[in-house]
Amino acid sequence: MSQLTVLSLIFLLSLVRSCQGQLKVGFYDSSCPGAEGIVNSAVARAFTSNPAIAPQLLRLQFHDCIVDGCDGSILINLPNGKQENKAFGNQGLGGFNVIDEAKTKLESQCPGVVSCADIVALAARDSVVLTKGPFYDVETGRRDGFSSSISHASDLPGEDEPINALQDKFAAKGLSDKDLVLLSAAHTIGTTACFFMGVRLNNFEGTGRPDPSIAPAFLAKLQGICPKGGDVNVRLALDDGSEKVFDAHYLDNILTGTAVLQSDAALLNNPTTRALVEFYARSPDAFRNDFGLSMVNLGRLGVLTGSNGNIRRACSAFN
Ligand code: HEM
């Protein structure tokens, strides 16, 4: 074989390898043509009986991807209980049963083909659509990881952190201020437990007082739902007045002092994130479009592709 042929072969092989190792829209089109439909049916079925599943599944993708990348590590249960989903900041996560149900169906149709990490990403998109949010193409081709550790999730962005800490934590993962604003806007649907309101309502920045940025009438409402010393498991809407519909109303709330989570209100405390909140509140169409782009960015974090990772048989356990 001539030197040129060998070089061409090496080039071709490296091209094949790099193609195998990339996310792409429609990754399962030939290997499991029904994959996206199967996930969609599982999510739609669950949503019909319990609409609260949509925000849970959207949140699940964030919590999977922000720790060790989008590798399905959030889904794992370990005999010693030291898995990622047991971390403090992962409290209240749900939707695992829907992922498991989709996986069971997928394994019966296309065994060993579709990763749990991809099911999470597809289920999040389908949840956005079911709540009347934007459709966006989900890149697939992720593979599942081999570790899931409670300690790796010890530094999740917290609801009582100042804006610069939130920006730093997103930037550390390669997510911009724009991603921070757009992805935080996932809080346009769903609820929080009063547990996450304690600092904001009673001891903002160690003052022993509520967050002064809360509009007075809204503060009274929040204190009524989450009184000091009350049941921390009571849940309240994250987007007051529109928690069931994916829309830009959440952004208006931030501007009028009626955001619920402190981390959402904090988006006004930096000129860049503030300008983004103002822009997207004025431009709901841009918000819908750009939210999808930021979800794609989120879905690219630390992915395992090609020959890295594997395809789990069950999402809650390593093979
Ligand atoms: C900026 C950092 C973030 C912080 C501090 C934060 C914090 C929280 C907290 C405290 C809750 C309430 C959890 C509960 O009581 O069950 C929550 C719920 C939620 N989060 Fe976030 N979050 C952040 C970013 C994100 C991102 C990036 C997404 C998705 C792209 C997301 C999606 C959701 C959704 C949909 C819910 C509602 C869950 C439900 O109704 O069960 N969050 N978040």
- Per-residue pLDDT tens for 282-294? 999 999 999 999 9
**Interval 205-229: pLDDT, tens:** 999 999 999 999 999 999 999 999 9
CA nearest neighbour of 293 among 125, 165, 168, 169: 125
Angle of helix 284-299 relative to helix 116-130, nearest 10 degrees, comes to 170
CA–CA distance, 80 with 175 (Å, rounded to integer): 33
- The response to whether residue 141 sits with its C-beta less than 6 Å from ligand 1 reads no
Length of the chain: 319
Neighbours of 178 (CB within 10 A): 18
pLDDT at 279 over 70: yes
The answer to whether the CB of 127 falls within 8 A of the CB of 121 is no
Burial 219-228 (b: 16+ CB within 10 A, else e): beebbeebee
Write the residue with the smallest CA distance to atom 2 of ligand 1: 157
pLDDT at 159 over 90: yes
Q: Quick one: fold of 26-155?
A: Peroxidase; domain 1 (1.10.520)
- Best residue among 62, 180, 233, 298 to mutate for probing ligand 1's pocket (most ligand atoms within 8 Å of CB) is 62
pTM (two decimals): 0.94
- The response to whether residue 55 sits with its C-beta less than 6 Å from ligand 1 reads yes
Q: Where in the chain is the domain with CATH 1.10.520.10?
A: 26-155
CA–CA distance, 239 with 259 (Å, rounded to integer): 7
- Which residues have C-beta within 8 Å of that of residue 114, sequence separation ≥ 6? 28, 32, 35, 103, 106, 311
CA–CA distance, 76 with 96 (Å, rounded to integer): 10
Which architecture characterizes domain 163-298 according to CATH? Answer: Orthogonal Bundle (1.10)
**pLDDT cut 70: percent of the chain above it:** 93
Helix (H, G, I), strand (E, B) or coil at 203: coil
Rounded to the nearest whole angstrom, what is the distance from the C-alpha of residue 112 to the centroid of ligand 1?
Answer: 31
- The response to whether residue 299 sits with its C-beta less than 6 Å from ligand 1 reads no
Q: State residue 104's pLDDT score.
A: 98
CA nearest neighbour of 222 among 204, 206, 249, 207: 204
Q: What would the mean pLDDT of 122-130 be, rounded to a whole number?
A: 98
Q: State residue 5's pLDDT score.
A: 58
CA nearest neighbour of 99 among 319, 317, 296, 245: 317
Write the residue with the smallest CA distance to atom 11 of ligand 1: 192
Q: Where in the chain is the domain with CATH 1.10.420.10?
A: 163-298
Parallel, antiparallel or unpaired: strands 139-140 and 191-193: unpaired
Q: State residue 15's pLDDT score.
A: 46
Summarize the chain as % helix, strand, coil (round to 5).
Answer: 55, 5, 40
CA–CA distance, 103 with 119 (Å, rounded to integer): 8
Q: How far is CA 27 from the centre of its chain?
A: 21
- Look at the alpha carbons of 253, 258, 261, 265 in this order and tell me if their dihedral is positive or negative: positive
Helix (H, G, I), strand (E, B) or coil at 144: strand
- The response to whether residue 58 sits with its C-beta less than 6 Å from ligand 1 reads yes
Q: Is 63 part of the annotated catalytic residue set?
A: yes
Atom of ligand 1 nearest to the CA of 161: 5
Angle of helix 96-109 relative to helix 35-49, nearest 10 degrees, comes to 140
Residue given tokens 């079911």 in the structure block: 130
Parallel, antiparallel or unpaired: strands 235-237 and 24-25: unpaired
pLDDT at 19 over 90: no
